[in-house]
Amino acid sequence: METNPPQTSTASYLGDAHYTSLPDGHSSPVSPRRPLRVFAVILTSVVFLVSLVALIVSQSQQLLDAAERGRGHLSTSKTASFSDASRPVARGVAEGVSAKSNPSLSGDEVSYNWTNAMFSWQRTAYHFQPEENWMNDPDGPLYHKGWYHLFYQYNPDSAVWGNITWGHAVSVDLIHWLYLPLAMVPDKWYDWNGVWTGSATVLPDGQIVMLYTGDTDNYVQVQNLAYPANLSDPLLLDWVKYSGNPVLIPPTGIAPKDFRDPTTGWLGPDGKWRVTIGSKVNKTGISLVYTTTNFTTYELLDHVLHAVPGTGMWECVDFYPVSINGTTGLDTSANGPGLKYVLKASLDDTKLDHYALGTYFSENDTWIPDNPAEDVGIGLRYDYGRYYASKTFYDPNKERRILWGWINETDTETDDLEKGWASLQTIPRTVLFDNKTGTNILQWPVEEVESLRLNSTDFDGVLVEPGSIVELDIGTATQLDIFADFEIESLGSDENNETDGGCNGGAVERRSLGPFGLLVIADQTLSELTPIYFRLANSSDGNLKTYFCADERRSTKATSVFNQIYGSEVPVLDDEKYSMRVLVDHSIVESFAQGGRTVITSRVYPTEAIYGATRLFLFNNATGVNVKATLKIWQMNSAFIHPFPLDQI
Ligand code: DQQ
């Protein structure tokens, strides 16, 4: 097995910016097993943390003022309101963090009578998932010496959240992954209750800085520094935790459980690095900014990068530039004219990933949204389906920005324990600014997924009349890459008197202009199916609005599974057809409308539409239009994700 593909240069456009070398490792490499703790370490930690909590409590008003100040000059016209009164407490919430992101399913629910065959089928063929046990957020993705590295929140002991370590896998193409040994385990007082989410910063000289949140032995969230023990190892197998950890503790005014998930660093015009970290003050979601020259000592700025009232705790903040007219991605430190900045927060209260486009002012490290009515947490989402805790990285190998996201389960924890694993990652997506609309990003599966394509079938101008379903004869439909364009032809009925219900009515609510689209993961008798569809509506301003939706309500006969209708509006420009791309992989459907303007990930648990019984159909539930569909559909190979053969190198 090749472990040392040709090296490519790291981002050279960072120029001669000043930074200080990393400490050269007085700590020992991370042990793969949790050692016994030394009593003295516990005692020191307890004393330290008691003082820390006392300090935080006594000074809590100051940061509130700072957030309020930030809100003052960055105020928004709309406030999110989230009701959490009826939600039971999820696993992990006691530790101040998201775990399974559907709390209503976290108890001892009655499970479906699953068979082993059903459980086996739910494992995907080309999405990343560990061999067993629990996974959540993607962490510290990076490219190093020819290998893409993915780290992830992982419980090596069970299929539920807990004992969080960093799992590790590598790939040369972002698709064919090889599992590696755990990268970091909770073995220090400052991460004893979990090596939580973090991000990589690749310095101009190739050094790698990994900042991550540690949940201390006293349940305080702190930020820690780690770095590779041996940079010349393309697999980055061994990681060193800095001897001076933690490098950051919750600052004045921030609660001990509201300080987590440091971003990738970016360089400011003064040659100092910036890192932003999500938090909240009361119900205002905020992103704190720190500057550093060495990643071991930091200064907290007295104002936040951004704050949005009503959005609650911001987890997994991400912040990066996109080029307004370019077709390549940008390094996180790129700056200058022709850029916009994406600010993303994962909202702990709703378990949704929201982003907004805006302008970054590097002179004072603030960001303001292009459209305050669509600010972070109250406007656009990366993905309107089952998706959370996403993170991007810049790939210098192909000059692109790549987005990872966690697909959480919607079955019960009981089921997860029985099947022995939980959660997946999306297919990595490239991110570009949509310069046709100017209002959103475009997400698209990385081109390498196309290497899995096998035989394809074309369908040209298939007529789907109102109220009809047409089978697409492609045989088994479990692993697919589908491109589908739809054109509509009016039948002359009155289309003007309909209320605009968005996706709410699901695939069965018949209106004059929709819904129409695909039925994926369906069985021959249509006892189980997942519609992915468009629905058009006349809006009050006389324009046509288009919604892109996924209706999971008939995706399974299992009643213990949480199914819903997902979707949102999607811009369709004058010269465009209604187009979708849909990746089907057993129990996962990733759907991209209009080149990736609106994206929906569905997690489904069929009981009949499995293995050779899975079929694909077109449907048209509109009453007033004929639909003509043109499709190209590839069968997809498996990625055969497996352990790295370390014994062969
Ligand atoms: N998951 C991590 C946290 C993060 C949360 C813990 C988001 O660092 O805030 O597993 O899913």
Which of 106, 184, 192, 197 for mutating ligand 1's site (highest number of atoms within 8 Å of CB)?
197
For residue 394, the CA-to-ligand 1 centroid distance in Å is 21
Q: Is the CB of residue 460 less than 8 Å from the CB of residue 630?
A: yes
195 lines ligand 1 (CB under 6 A): no
Looking at residue 109, its pLDDT comes to 56
Distance of CA 484 to the CA centre of its chain: 25
CA distances (Å), origin 492, targets 193, 496, 625: 64, 11, 8
CA-angle at 219, arms to 214 and 224, nearest 5°: 15
Which numbered atom of ligand 1 lies nearest the CA of 196?
Answer: 8
- 628: its two tokens: 């003509």
- Residue 406 alpha carbon, nearest atom of ligand 1: 11
- Residue 74: what pLDDT? 21
- 64 class by beta-carbon count within 10 Å (0-12 exposed, 13-18 middle, 19+ buried): middle
Q: Is 124 in the pocket of ligand 1 (CB under 6 A)?
A: no
- For residue 92, the CA-to-ligand 1 centroid distance in Å is 9
389 CB within 6 A, ligand 1 = yes
Please give the distance, rounded to the nearest whole angstrom, from the Cα atom of residue 340 to the centre of ligand 1: 27
d(CA 423, CA 416): 9
pLDDT tens for 249-303 read: 999 999 999 999 999 999 999 999 999 999 999 999 999 999 999 999 999 999 9
Query: Which residue, 442, 318, 326, is CA-closest to 376?
Result: 318
Ligand 1 centroid to residue 575 C-alpha, Å: 42
CA of 398 to the centre of ligand 1 (A): 29
What phi, psi does 520 have (nearest 5°)? Answer: -105, 165
Ligand 1 centroid, distance to 98 Cα (angstroms): 6
CB-ligand 1 contact for 196 (6 Å cutoff): yes
What pairs with residue 537 in β-bridges? 545
Q: Which atom of ligand 1 is nearest to the CA of 221?
A: 8
> What pLDDT score was predicted for residue 68?
38
Predicted local confidence at residue 541, as pLDDT: 78
**Residue nearest atom 6 of ligand 1, based on CA coordinates:** 196
Q: What is the pLDDT of residue 540?
A: 76
Q: Is the CB of 351 under 6 A from ligand 1?
A: no
What is the pLDDT, as a whole number, of residue 543? 84
Separation of CA 12 from chain center: 28
Residues whose CB falls within 8 Å of the CB of residue 583, separated by 6 or more in sequence, listed in order = 427, 445, 449, 480, 481, 482, 589, 590, 591, 636
For position 497, what pLDDT does the model report? 53
Q: Ligand 1: which of 154, 276, 315 to mutate, judged by most atoms within 8 Å of the beta carbon?
A: 315
223 CB within 6 A, ligand 1: no
- Residue 315 CA, ligand 1 centroid: distance in Å: 7
- Cβ 318 under 6 angstroms from ligand 1: no
Distance CA 301, CA 363 (A): 12
Alpha carbon dihedral 429, 433, 434, 440, in 10-degree steps, equals 90
**Contact, 155 vs 422, CB < 8 A?**
no
What's the 212 CA to ligand 1 centre distance in angstroms?
10
Protein residue with its CA nearest to atom 9 in ligand 1: 315
Cβ distance 472 to 631 under 8 Å?
yes
Q: Which of 65, 84, 137, 574 is catalytic?
A: 137
Residue closest via CA to ligand 1's atom 5 equals 98
pLDDT at 43: 43
Task: Tell me if residue 303 falls in helix, strand or coil.
Answer: coil
CB of 452 within 8 A of CB of 593? no
Asked whether 374 lines ligand 1 (CB < 6 A), one says no
What spacing in Å lies between the alpha carbon of 152 and ligand 1's midpoint? 10
Q: Is 605 exposed, middle or buried (0-12, 13-18, 19+ CB in 10 A)?
A: buried
Helix (H/G/I), strand (E/B), else coil: 261: coil
**Mutation to probe ligand 1, out of 134, 193, 196, 354 (largest number of atoms < 8 A from CB):** 196
Residue 301, helix vs strand vs coil: coil
Q: Which of 97, 190, 280 to mutate to test the pocket of ligand 1 (most atoms within 8 A of CB)?
A: 97
221 lines ligand 1 (CB under 6 A): no
Question: With a 6 A CB cut-off, is 164 part of the ligand 1 pocket?
Answer: yes
Decide if 335 contacts 323 (C-beta within 8 A).
Answer: no
Collect contacts of 349-352 with beta carbons under 8 A, ≥24 apart.
349/82, 349/84, 349/311, 349/312, 349/313, 350/82, 350/312, 351/98, 351/101, 351/102, 351/388, 351/408, 352/381, 352/388
Alpha-carbon distance of 243 to 249, in angstroms, equals: 15
Distance (Å) from CA 102 to ligand 1 centroid: 14
Q: Which pLDDT score is estimated for 486?
A: 98
End-to-end alpha-carbon separation of the chain, Å? 7
**pLDDT at site 539:** 78
- Each residue's pLDDT tens digit, 388-401: 999 999 999 999 99
| pLDDT < 50: residue spans in the chain | 1-89, 101-106
Buried b (16+ CB within 10 A) or exposed e, 97-125: bbbbbbbebbeebebbebeeebbebbbbb
Q: Is the CB of 197 under 6 A from ligand 1?
A: yes
Reference 262, options 234, 229, 298; nearest CA is: 298
Cβ–ligand 1 contact at 137 (below 6 Å): yes
Q: Is the CB of 193 under 6 A from ligand 1?
A: no
What is the C-alpha to C-alpha distance for residues 272 and 130, in angstroms, rounded to an integer?
37
Residues sharing a CB contact under 8 Å with residue 581, sequence separation 6 or more, in sequence order: 444, 445, 481, 482, 483, 484, 591, 592, 596
Whether 173 is catalytic: no
Helices (H) and strands (E) in the chain, counts: 4, 36
- CB of 408 closer than 6 angstroms to any ligand 1 atom: no
pLDDT of residue 79: 28
| DSSP 8-class letter at 327 | S
